[in-house]
C-alpha cells in the first residue's frame, strides 16, 4: 500500500517493502532531502485518499524489456528485476488502476496483494529508521518507514495501548532503574555486564534450568568457549554459518573460533567414551556461553546480543526413543510456560523443501518426511498449538520455533527445538546396539529457557519488572518503624540470611512512608514492617508488592516463603 505514496514525491526511489511480523515497512531513497516525522502525516493523508478511491489492484506478468522500460529510472527495482531474470522466473507486477481504468501506480512484486485499495482497514505509520539497501552495509543507507495495519480503528487503539504499556515495561528502562545490567563502550556492543541485582536473576534462572534438567535425568557437561577451525568445518558451521561467527584467532598456526553453538563440543564429549544402547537416551546439558557476530545495527538491549548464555542441551537417542524424548522436551517447555504464567504460545514446525534438498538441506528425502511426521505426531499427541512452515528447517533436520506472548500481548521468539538426523554421522558418533552392530544416534537440540539474556528481557516486560519472589534480586525489605525495633529487625534479617534469602534493611534514616515507597519502586516482593506489635508478638506483618492489604505470619512461615523454589516435581 505505502508504495503509492511515491506519487507525492515523483523523484523518490523505492526499495523493498514487505509485510513483517508486526506490521509492514517500505524503504525510500529520498536523495539528499532531510526526512523527519512530519512526513508521516503527509503520507498517511495520501494513503487514506488512495484507500477511499478503492482503486483495483491487478497482477501482471511482463517481459524483461517491458519491465526494464517501466523502471528505467529506478536502480533499485532494476536490481530486483536482475535477480528475477537471473533465476529465470516470470517478472510479476502489480498495477493499481485508477477510476478511469488507467494504471495509477505499478510495482514489481511477487505478491500477494489485496484485490483493491478499499480493502485496507485502519493503519498507522509508526516510526522511521535507517536501513541499508537489501540489508547489506556496503549498500546505500535508505530511509525505512514502519507501519501497522488493522481491520478497524479499535485494533489500532489496542495496539497503541500495548505499545504505551510496553514502553513502561521496556527491559532497557527497567534494567537501568533496577540496576540489573549495563553495556560499556570499552567492553563492546552487545556484551552485557550483569550488575549484582541482575546477576541474582541469572543465578535463579540457572538454578531453575539445572534442577529441572536434573529431574529429567540430564547429565551436566562443561566445554570451553573456543575450538579449532577444523571442528567447525566438520560440523558444517564453517563455511555455512561463518557470517554469524566471530572472526578467528590464530595460534600455533591454527585458527581458533569462539563457539556460536555448544553442539560440536557436546558431540566430542559423547565421543570421548564408547557408548552402548544401554547408555541411550543420553542427555547432555550445559549452561553454555556462546558468541555470535550479530550485525551492530541489529543489537537491541538484551533481546539481541553478541554474548549469549544458553540453557542448552543435546539428547542422543535411537529412532525408537525419539517420540518419547521429544514429548519430554515439550513437557519441559510447557512446565516453564506454566511457571511463568505464559498463557499464549505457539509452536511452528519448520520443514524442508524439495527444491532445497542437497543445497540448504541434507539430501535425504525419506528421512525428512519421516522425521517431520514424527515431530508432527508428537505435537498432535500433546495437543500443543502449532502451524507448519515449508522450507524453514535447519540443514540437518526439522525444527520447532517457539513463539510466546507476554502479559501485554507482545510476541517474542523464544527458542528452537531441533531434530538432527545428520550431524551425528558427520562426527562418527555411534553406539553399539543390542545386535552388536554400531549405529548412529539421532540428536535433539533444545534450549527451552532460551538465552538468559533474552529470557530476562522477556520476563522484565512480562512482569513489568516485579519478578516473583523466588527469582527477585531482593526478596524482602525489612523496615523497622523506629530505632527501638532494630533488634528484632536484625534478628529477622539474620534468620532470612541464614535461610539463604536475599534481604535488605531500609534503615530508619528516612520516614516509614518513604521507605515503603522505596521498596515498591525497587519492586521488592515482600516489605516487612517491624513495629511495636511485631516486636511484642514476635510475628511479622508482610506487605506484598503492588497490594494494599497486609498479611500476618510467623517468622517460620515467612522463611518458608523465602526458601520456596519451584523445582519441577516428578510424577
Residue showing cell 525419539: 322
Report in angstroms how near the CB of residue 268 gets to a second copy at its nearest.
5
Q: Which is nearer to a second copy, 25 or 427 (CB)?
A: 427
Q: How far is the CB of 27 from a second copy (least distance, A)?
A: 23
| Residues near a second copy (CB under 8 A) | 179, 182, 184, 186-189, 191-196, 198-200, 202-203, 210-211, 214, 219-228, 230-231, 234, 246-252, 254, 256, 258, 265, 268-269, 272-273, 284, 289, 291, 293, 296, 306-307, 498, 500, 570
C-beta closer to a second copy: residue 168 or 219: 219
- Give φ, ψ of 2 to 5 degrees: -60, -20
**Residue 38: DSSP 8-state:** H
Pick between residue 276 and residue 537 the one whose CB is nearest to a second copy: 276
**Taking the complex as a whole, how short is the minimal distance between the CB of residue 297 and a second copy, in angstroms?**
10
Q: Say if residues 286 and 266 touch (Cβ distance below 8 Å).
A: yes
User: What angle do helix axes 452-462 and 196-215 make, rounded to 10 degrees?
Assistant: 110
**Closer of 189 and 482 to a second copy (Cβ):** 189
Contact 400, 392 (CB under 8 A): no
Q: Please list the residues that pair with 26 across neighbouring strands.
A: 145
Nearer CB in complex with a second copy: 264/393: 264
Other Cβ atoms less than 10 A from the Cβ of 11: the count is 10
Shortest gap between Cβ of 391 and a second copy (angstroms)? Answer: 31
Residue 402 makes CB contacts below 8 A (sequence gap 6+) with 333, 345, 346, 347, 348, 413, 414, 415, 416, 417, 448
- Phi, psi values for residue 56, rounded to 5°: -75, 150
Nearest residue (CB) to a second copy, 158 versus 189: 189
Cα–Cα distance, 412 to 345 (Å, whole number)? 9
Would you call 563 helix, strand, or coil by DSSP? helix
> Quick one: 268 or 439, whose CB is closer to a second copy?
268
Q: Is the dihedral of CA 164, 166, 168, 170 positive or negative?
A: negative
DSSP H or E stretch at residue 211: helix 196-215
User: From the CB of 317, what's the least distance to a second copy, in Å?
Assistant: 16
83/211 with CB nearer a second copy: 211
Please, are residues 463 and 472 in contact by the beta-carbon 8 Å criterion? Answer: no
Nearer to a second copy, 192 or 480 (CB): 192
Q: Enter the C-alpha cell of residue 565.
A: 523454589
Give the residue with the Cβ less far from a second copy, 293 or 439.
293
Give, for 328, the enclosing helix (H) or strand (E).
Answer: helix 322-339
Residue whose CB is less far from a second copy, 273 or 383:
273
- Compute the least distance from the CB of residue 223 to a second copy, in Å: 5
- Distance from the Cα of residue 33 to its chain's centroid: 36
Cis peptide before 239 (omega within 30 of 0): yes
Least separation in angstroms between residue 180's CB and a second copy is 10
Whether the Cβ atoms of residue 90 and residue 111 lie closer than 8 Å to each other: no
Q: DSSP of 223-288, one letter per residue? A: --SEEEHHHHHHHTHHHHTGGGSPPPEEETTEEEEE-S-SHHHHHHHHHTS--BGGG-SEEEEEEE
Q: How far is the CB of 556 from a second copy (least distance, A)?
A: 20
Say whether 146 sits in a helix, a strand or coil.
Answer: strand
For every residue of 29-67, DSSP letters joined together read E-TT----THHHHHHHHHHHHHHHHT-EEEEEEE-HHHH
Residue 75, classed as helix, strand or coil, is helix
- Tell me how far apart the alpha carbons of residues 171 and 300 are, in angstroms, rounded to a whole number: 10
At closest approach, how far in Å is the CB of 428 from a second copy?
12
Instruction: List, in sequence order, every residue forming a beta bridge with 150; answer none if it has no partner.
Output: 122
Nearer of residues 205 and 384 to a second copy, judged by Cβ: 205
CB of 288 to a second copy, least distance (A): 11
Provide the minimum distance between the beta carbon of 438 and a second copy in the complex, in angstroms, as a whole number.
Answer: 20
Q: Which is nearer to a second copy, 307 or 403 (CB)?
A: 307
* Count of all residues that appear for the chain in the document: 571
Q: What is the grid cell recorded at 54? A: 478503492
Q: SS3 string of 329-358?
A: HHHHHHHHHHHCCCCCEEEEEECCCCCCEC
**Closest approach of Cβ 452 to a second copy, in Å?**
9
CB of 202 to a second copy, least distance (A): 6
Q: Which is nearer to a second copy, 289 or 561 (CB)?
A: 289
Q: How far is the CB of 240 from a second copy (least distance, A)?
A: 18
Distance CA 258, CA 255 (A): 10
Residue 462 CA to residue 230 CA, distance in Å, equals 42
Amino acid at each position: 500500500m505505502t508504495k503509492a505514496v511515491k506519487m507525492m514525491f515523483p523523484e523518490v526511489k523505492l526499495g523493498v517493502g514487505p509485510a513483517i511480523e508486526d506490521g509492514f515497512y517500505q524503504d525510500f531513497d529520498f536523495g539528499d532531502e532531510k526526512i523527519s516525522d512530519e512526513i508521516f502525516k503527509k503520507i498517511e493523508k495520501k494513503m487514506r485518499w488512495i484507500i477511499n478511491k478503492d482503486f483495483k489492484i491487478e497482477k501482471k506478468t511482463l517481459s524483461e524489456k517491458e519491465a526494464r522500460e517501466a523502471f528505467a529510472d529506478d536502480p533499485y527495482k532494476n536490481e530486483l528485476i536482475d535477480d528475477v531474470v537471473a533465476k529465470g522466473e516470470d517478472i510479476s507486477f502489480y498495477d493499481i488502476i485508477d477510476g478511469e481504468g488507467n494504471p495509477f501506480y505499478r510495482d514489481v512484486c511477487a505478491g500477494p496483494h489485496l484485490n483493491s485499495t478499499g480493502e485496507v482497514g485502519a493503519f498507522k505509520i509508526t516510526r522511521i529508521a535507517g536501513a541499508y539497501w537489501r540489508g547489506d552495509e556496503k549498500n546505500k543507507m535508505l530511509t525505512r518507514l514502519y507501519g501497522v495495519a488493522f481491520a478497524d480503528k479499535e485494533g489500532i487503539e489496542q495496539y497503541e495501548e500495548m505499545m504505551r504499556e510496553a514502553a513502561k515495561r521496556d527491559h532497557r528502562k527497567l534494567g537501568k532503574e533496577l540496576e540489573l545490567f549495563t553495556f560499556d563502550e570499552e567492553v563492546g556492543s552487545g556484551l552485557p555486564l550483569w550488575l549484582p541485582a541482575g546477576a541474582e536473576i541469572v543465578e535463579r534462572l540457572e538454578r531453575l534450568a539445572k534442577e529441572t534438567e536434573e529431574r529429567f535425568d540430564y547429565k551436566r557437561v562443561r566445554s570451553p568457549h573456543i575450538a579449532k577451525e577444523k571442528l567447525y568445518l566438520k560440523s558444517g558451521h564453517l563455511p555455512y554459518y561463518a557470517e554469524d561467527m566471530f572472526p578467528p584467532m590464530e595460534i600455533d598456526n591454527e585458527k581458533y573460533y569462539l563457539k556460536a553453538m555448544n553442539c560440536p563440543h557436546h558431540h566430542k564429549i559423547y565421543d570421548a567414551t564408547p557408548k552402548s544402547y544401554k547408555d541411550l537416551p543420553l542427555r547432555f546439558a550445559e549452561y553454555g556461553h556462546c558468541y555470535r557476530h550479530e550485525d551492530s545495527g541489529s543489537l537491541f538491549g538484551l533481546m539481541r546480543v553478541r554474548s549469549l548464555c544458553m540453557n542448552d542441551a543435546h539428547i542422543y537417542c535411537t529412532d525408537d526413543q525419539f517420540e518419547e524424548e521429544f514429548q519430554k522436551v515439550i513437557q519441559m517447555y510447557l512446565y516453564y510456560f506454566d511457571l511463568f504464567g505464559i498463557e499464549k504460545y505457539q509452536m511452528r514446525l519448520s520443514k524442508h523443501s524439495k527444491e532445497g534438498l542437497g543445497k540448504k538441506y541434507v539430501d535425504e528425502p525419506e528421512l525428512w518426511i519421516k522425521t517431520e511426521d514424527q515431530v508432527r505426531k508428537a505435537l498432535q499427541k500433546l495437543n500443543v498449538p502449532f502451524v507448519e512452515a515449508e522450507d524453514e528447517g535447519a540443514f540437518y533436520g526439522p525444527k520447532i520455533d517457539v513463539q510466546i506472548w507476554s502479559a501485554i500481548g507482545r510476541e517474542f521468539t523464544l527458542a528452537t527445538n531441533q531434530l538432527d538426523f545428520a550431524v551425528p554421522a558427520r562426527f562418527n558418533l555411534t553406539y553399539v546396539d543390542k545386535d552388536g552392530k554400531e549405529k548412529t544416534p539421532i540428536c535433539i537440540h533444545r534450549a527451552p529457557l532460551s538465552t538468559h539474556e533474552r529470557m530476562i528481557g522477556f520476563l522484565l516486560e512480562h512482569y513489568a519488572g516485579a519478578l516473583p519472589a523466588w527469582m527477585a534480586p531482593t526478596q524482602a525489605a525489612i523496615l523497622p518503624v523506629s530505632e527501638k525495633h532494630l533488634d528484632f529487625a536484625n534478628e529477622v534479617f539474620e534468620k532470612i540470611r541464614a535461610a539463604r534469602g536475599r534481604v535488605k534493611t531500609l534503615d530508619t534514616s528516612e520516614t516509614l512512608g518513604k521507605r515503603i515507597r522505596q521498596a515498591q519502586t525497587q519492586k521488592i516482593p515482600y516489605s516487612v514492617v517491624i513495629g511495636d506489635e511485631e516486636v511484642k508478638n514476635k510475628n511479622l506483618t508482610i506487605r506484598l508488592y503492588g497490594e494494599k492489604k497486609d498479611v500476618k505470619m510467623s517468622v517460620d512461615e515467612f522463611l518458608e516463603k523465602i526458601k520456596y523454589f519451584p523445582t519441577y516435581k516428578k510424577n
